Chain A
Amino acid sequence: MSFLHDVAHWFNDPSHWRGTAGIPNRMYEHLQYSVCAMVAAIVLAVPVAVWLGHRRQFGTVAVNVSNVGRAIPSFAILVLGAQQFGLLELPVIGSFTTFLALVALAVPPLVTNAYVAVAEVSDDVRDAARGVGMTEGQILRRVELPLAVPLLMAGVRTASVQVVATATIAAFVGAGGLGRYIIDGRAIFDNTQIFAGAVLVALLSLVTEVSLGFAQRALTPRGLRAELVTARAAAVAATSVPDGKVNP
Chain B
Amino acid sequence: MLLASNVDRWLWWDWIDRNTDLIWSSLREHVILTVAAVGFGLLIAIPIGIAAARWRWLYAPSLAFTGVLYTIPSLAAFALLLPVTGLTRTTAVIPLTTYTLLILVRNVVEGLDGVPAEIKDAADGMGYNRFQRLVRIEMPLALPAIMAGIRIATVTVIGLAAVAGLLAIPSLGNLIYIGQNRPIRTAITVGIVLSIALAVTADLLLALVQRLLTPWARARAQR
Judge: A and B partners, yes or no: yes
Residues of chain A having any CB pair with chain B under 8 Å: 3, 67, 70-76, 79-80, 82-83, 161, 164-166, 168-169, 172-173, 179, 182-183, 185-186, 191, 194-195, 197-199, 201-202, 205-206, 208-209, 229-230, 232-234, 236-238, 240-242, 247
Interface size classification for chain B: 35 or more
A247 in contact with B82 given A75-B166, A229-B63, A237-B149 (CB within 8 Å):
no
Residues 81-118 of B contacting A (Cβ, < 8 Å): 82-83, 102-103, 105-107, 110, 114
Q: Is B199 an interface residue (CB 8 A)?
A: yes
User: Is the pair B176, A79 in contact by a Cβ cutoff of 8 Å?
Assistant: yes
Q: Residues 156-171 of chain B: 1 if any A CB is under 8 Å from the residue's CB, otherwise 0?
A: 1011101100111000
Q: Which residue of A lies closest to B103 (CB)?
A: A237
Residues in A neighbouring B73, C-beta threshold 8 A: 164-166, 168, 201-202, 205
**Contact yes or no, B159 A198, CB < 8 A:** no
Taking a contact as CB atoms under 8 Å apart, the answer to whether B70 and A236 are in contact is yes
Query: Is B207 at the interface (CB under 8 A from chain A)?
Result: yes
Verify B159–A73 contact, CB threshold 8 A: yes
Binds A, one of B21-29, B36-44, B127-135, B187-195: B187-195
A236 contacts B76, C-beta separation under 8 Å: no
B141 interface residue per 8 A CB criterion: no
Chain B residues with CB below 8 A from A183, complex form: 166
- B159 adjacent to A70 (CB under 8 Å): yes
Contact A71:B158 (CB < 8 A) given known A205-B72, A209-B68: yes
Q: Which 10 A-B pairs have the closest CB atoms?
A: A165-B73, A71-B199, A198-B79, A73-B162, A233-B106, A198-B76, A201-B76, A76-B192, A209-B71, A73-B159
Q: How far is the CA of A161 from the CA of B176 in the complex (A)?
A: 23
Per-residue contact bits, chain B 171-184, to A (CB 8 Å; 1 contact, 0 not): 01100110110000
Contact (A3, B191) CB under 8 Å given A71-B155, A165-B75, A236-B102: no
Measured CA separation A73–B160 after assembly (Å): 7
Contact B162 A75 (CB under 8 A): yes
Contacts of A83 in B (CB 8 A): 180, 185, 188
Interface check B60, CB cutoff 8 A: yes
Once A79-B188, A232-B67 are accepted as A-B contacts, the answer to whether A242 and B207 lie under 8 Å apart by CB is yes
Contact status A195-B79, CB under 8 Å: yes
Residue of A3, A72, A82, A229 touching B83 (CB-CB under 8 A): A3
- Flag if A195 contacts B83 (CB, 8 Å): yes
Chain A residues whose CB sits within 8 angstroms of the CB of B180 once the complex forms? 79, 82-83, 172-173
Please determine whether B176 and A75 come into contact, CB atoms closer than 8 angstroms.
Answer: yes
